[in-house]
Structure 1
Amino acid sequence: MSSDVTVLMANLSGQHFIDGVLVAGEGPTTPVIDPATEQICAVFAEATTAEIDTAVAAAMRAQRAWWALSALERTEALHEVATALAEVAPLAGEVMTREMGKPFVESNWEGGTSASSLRYYAELARHDQGRVAGAALPGQTHLTLKEPLGTVVSIVPFNFPVLLFGWQAAASLAAGNAVIVKPSELTPMTLLALMEAFSVLPPGLVQVLTGGAEVGAALVGHPDTHAVAFTGSVKAAQAVARTAAERFKPVLIEASGNDPFIVMPSAPIDMVARGAAFAAFLNCGQVCTSAERFYVHDDVFDEFVEGLVIEARSLRLGSGLERVDLGPMASERERQRVEAIVARAVEQGAAVLCGGKRPEALPTGWFYEPTVLEVTHEMDLMHGETFGPLAPVCRVSSLDEAIALANDSEVGLGANIYTEDLAEAFRAVHELETGIVWVNTPLNDNDAVAFGGRKLTGSGRELGIEGLEQFRRSKMVMIAPEARPDPEWFPYADEDAFPG
């Protein structure tokens, strides 16, 4: 770890970012463990009720000042934030790698993609703040205005703390809101390290409160917060939605994924194997859109499996600050959970084709080998989010069977298909019950295209115009240039009365 980051993480330990400054937390502290070394690299403080109230009050003040600016002024400020975010990304990226383990190239990339989202939304919000409708009454002007919700609570997970916060903050701020983010207990320092990039904004417009589930629940239920963006488990998401519903707060939820990956004979299998390895093992499989269920046509099954095993065995494991492809899992609990999933699959008859164990060369750290298994669709690991470096592969005899098995899931975030048959591609696009379909291009995204899922994956959308609308409300406005009588006023005409 570089000396700059050593000092930075020490200075950030036990702090919150409230009203534009770092504030020493008053609550109890919890250590943050480097998953590559199993050593304490920082501590975070549990936000107290008083600290939460202070942050919410500061957000309300800042939001009013932010919305009072012109759209052009807000746009220019967000472009400044994007520039600063790109500059601080390497430093925050090193902090992220120390906190949750992913390779630095991935951590650093998160800052850049968040800066891109800020630039996109800065311009999109300035371009559109409502519309003029054809008037229903002569001489009048009828409008729909777009206004901010107020203070948005952003609860982000450990796997993409900067990316997901960046998506949500970019849309929220562009819409005119304030944002309070509650990071994961595994990555609290990363977002604190990022806050210097927001210094050009009114103090209190963007704040960080660290802590566990209780802090998140308090923010969601606070009477003076107005919307929630949550990424996490289905059970936690349901609790968030119930609390928010008490005050009818809009909720953006991305709760879970169990994404299928279909391979058809028309695809070039050597290329498919490379794409499959990336889709399954990126960030050690700790991606909501990871390919977690492979349905491979009989005609190419053996060739695909052989290629995927070669790719998996070629991946370099180690500290994310070294020249590696995969780092450790984010916590000991996460690795133990994945080990239990593999053990259950083997008990049910799965064949481990490679991996399936801790790497002997890395006795320290929460590492787990990228694992390929031959399975059947009925096995437990095909029916829940595995969220680890696992690639279970199942034989199918047709596209019909592949689509049917892919849709046999309670969640529906993303789905992949590799085919160079255009008819198969269009069938998959229209028949897969997911919010995202990737054809021959796994796991990509685009600031301008909506991201989200169906079923128990959640509700709402990030990115695109839909992502901006998530954090705005519409106001109907009707303007008559002068006061005139209306034909609908009293008294009603006698000829319109009930004829009986």
Structure 2
Amino acid sequence: MDAQKEFDRLSGTLFVGGAPLESVSTDRRPVIDPATEIQIGHIADATDHEIEQAVDLANGARRQWWAESALHRAEKLHEVAAAIRELRPEVAELITRETGKPFKEGMDEVEWAVTATRYFAELGRHSVGRIAGPAARGQMQYTLKEPYGVVVIVLPANFPVVLLMWEAAAALAAGNAVIVKPSEFASLTTLKFMEVFSGLPAGLVQCLTGGGRVGSRLVSHPDTHLVAFTGSVATGQAVAKACAETFKPCLIEASGNDPFIVMPSAPLRTAARGVAFAAFLNCGQVCTSAERIYVHTDVYDEFAELLAAEAAKLRIGNGLDRVDIGPMEHRGELERFERVLARAIEQGATVLYGGKRPEGFDKGYFHEPTVLTGVTPEMDVVNGEIFGPLAPLVRVDSFDEAIRLANASRFGLGANVYTTDLIETVRAQHELVAGTVWVNTPLPDNDAAPFGGRKLSGLGSQLGAEGLDTFRATKTVMIDPSVPEQDFWWFPYQDDEAFPAV
């Protein structure tokens, strides 16, 4: 594949009605390679007419899709999974060129999309309801699971493929149609990825590029029926408010500010490697990144040195080279992150390792993985999402203090603990307020287990049976085949059931 030819081909297009469509929009946004700062393409801001066209096509396609058997939908989703795997190296390369992450991470991401698609392909045909024990003699009472209709998926740039399939595979398995609004910083990759849906009915999965106006119009459109959003708290709140106007259901996965607790019983070198991975994966641009590291005072100094040594080993550079850390997604993210770091230093934190843009890089949005010591609980750096390559270490005197500080956050997406103490392990799983708790195994996901947050981290669940049900409405059905007169509660009421004083 010639990546630049692909970017040229995809620039200015949408994916509507099962095929690429050259947008008539004159509003175009440049796409910049974050490793080189070279423009590699452009995206169109979809017009209102193009949005209407996509919504109309989606509503037609979803009726055709739901009319098929569950087995047919499962087989078609398995075909999608096979197409994803076939396209894996090409999509991974475009992910790296457009978002900056190392090619290895792009390959992993595409593979995770495969497994999620196969999981939901099978789960979607497992059942479409349940039989309830009847509350009245002779009746049949049961529930049906039905699709909502047209699902709008609004995505960030950090995981443009796997987050899409966590939601799109579930939505399709449930019988819905999907319209994707990708991040402006991962749109060309997403347009390329649309090729995997070529075997589905035209209009069942579509992609409209653009900024906030496009997303807002899709969210508030009367003929879209559920919104799945991943992004910032502020935008997530705006989406939830827009959905609330018509009680449109929504799935919100907003920011994280995840704690990572290291206790004396942990093997410290292993824990240091675990923290380095959890803090610096994808240059720290992960919603479940370790952003507050609470280290017991008995091992704090030793652990800090071990973590700094791990950070020093990480190779920085273009994600197409042999590297561990690529650039940040775009210039605005790098500059925002640098302000976060500068504020931490201003408030008294000390840079143990890193702290600046790496030497020898004249171009690209690169930053060194950075370890901070002397961080205290009241500092801004531990009270908001960092979303960058930073590991702030906070000293704690006890496990109780670590739990208390971990929970003293507006967010509750994930939480990590390193310990070999069984009591601490059991307490952590029960006492940490988070959607996921990882003990001695930082950041893995499981297609069969739900993923979601608490507090300002969001609403609803992805993955698992819960993730499928996010995209299904429940209908209760009651049938009495004998058509009796139900005098046990119809009019007229019996005299002996009147108030006793009558």
TM-score (norm 1): 0.99
CA distance in 1: counterparts of 2:346 and 2:73, whole angstroms: 57
Q: Deviation of residue 110 (structure 1)? A: 1.3
Report what 1:22 is aligned to.
Answer: 20
Provide the rounded CA distance (Å) in 2 between the counterparts of 1:140 and 1:66. Answer: 31
The Cα of 1:9 is off from its aligned counterpart by 1.1
* Stretches of structure 2 lacking an aligned partner (at least 5 in a row): none
Q: Distance in 2 between matches of 1:482 and 1:289?
A: 56
Question: Where in structure 1 do 4 or more consecutive aligned residues deviate above 6 Å?
Answer: none
Distance 2:409 2:432 in 1: 11
Which string of whole-angstrom CA distances, capped at 9 and with x for unpartnered residues, describes residues 417-467 of structure 1?
A: 000001001111111111111000001010011101101111000001110
**Deviations 1:344-400 (CA, angstroms, capped at 9, x unpaired):** 111111100011100112121000000000111111101000000000001101000
User: Aligned partners of 1:199 and 1:138: how far apart in 2?
Assistant: 50
Paired residue for 1:443?
A: 443
Aligned to 1:64: 63
Q: Which amino acid aligns with 1:385?
A: E
Asked if 1:422 is matched to 2:422, the reply is yes
CA distance in 1, matches of 2:174, 2:402: 41
How far apart are residue 290 of structure 1 and its match? Answer: 0.2
Residues of 2 paired with 1:404 and 1:483: CA distance?
60
The alignment of Structure 1 onto Structure 2 pairs a total of residues equal to: 498
Once the two structures are aligned, what percentage of the paired residues are identical? 60
Matching residue of 2:130: 131
**In 1, Cα distance between the equivalents of 2:362 and 2:314?**
17
- Higher mean C-alpha displacement, 79-88 vs 489-498: 489-498
The secondary structure found in structure 1 opposite 2:57 is helix
Q: Which stretch of the first structure deviates more once superposed, 100-109 or 132-141? A: 132-141
State the SS of the aligned residue for 2:356.
Answer: coil
Aligned to 1:193: 192
> Offset of 1:474 from its aligned partner?
0.5
C-alpha distance in 2, partners of 1:443/1:109? 14
Q: Which residue of 1 aligns with 2:85?
A: 86
SS of aligned partner of 1:395? strand
- For the Cα contact (< 8 Å) 1:234–1:457, is it kept in 2? yes
- Cα distance between partner residues in 1 of 2:345 and 2:362: 23
Q: How does 1:396-435 map to 2 (within 5 A)?
A: 396-435=396-435
Counterpart in the other structure of 1:482: 482
Unpaired segments ≥5 residues, structure 1: none
Cα shift readout 1:162-206 (whole Å, capped 9, x = no counterpart) = 010010001100000001000000010111101111111111110
Q: Contact conserved, 1:450 with 1:465, CA < 8 A, in 2?
A: yes
Alpha-carbon distance, 1:491 to partner: 2.1
Q: CA deviation at 1:92?
A: 1.1
Q: 2:313 matched to 1:314?
A: yes
Q: Residue 138 of structure 1: CA displacement?
A: 1.7
Deviation at 1:482, TM superposition (A): 2.6
Q: Which amino acid aligns with 1:345?
A: A
**1:112 alignment counterpart:** 111
Return the offset for 1:484: 1.6
* Alpha-carbon contact 1:89-1:110 (below 8 Å) kept: no
Q: Distance in 2 between matches of 1:496 and 1:428?
A: 55
Amino acid at match of 1:303: E
Residue 404 of structure 1 aligns with an amino acid whose one-letter code is R
CA distance in 1 between partners of 2:140 and 2:415 (Å): 45
State the SS of the aligned residue for 1:154: strand
Per the TM alignment, residue 334 of structure 1 is displaced from its structure 2 partner at its CA by 0.6
Q: What is the match of residue 493 of structure 2? A: 492
Could you list the per-position Cα deviations for residues 247-297 of structure 1 after superposition, in whole angstroms to 9, with x for gaps in the alignment?
111110011100000000000001011111000000000000000000000
Supply the distance in 1 between the matched residues of 2:169 and 2:108 (Cα, whole angstroms): 16
The DSSP-based 3-state class of the residue aligned with 1:299 is coil
Give the partner amino acid of 1:198. F
Name the SS for the 1:161 alignment partner. Answer: coil
2:384 counterpart residue number: 384
- CA deviations 1:96-149 (Å, max 9, x no partner) are 111110001111211111111111111111011100111112222111000000
Structural mapping, 1:35-184, within 5 Å? 35-184=34-183
**In the aligned structure 2, how far is the partner of 1:492 from the partner of 1:377?**
66
Q: In structure 2, how many angstroms separate the alpha carbons of the residues matched to 1:36 and 1:396?
A: 38
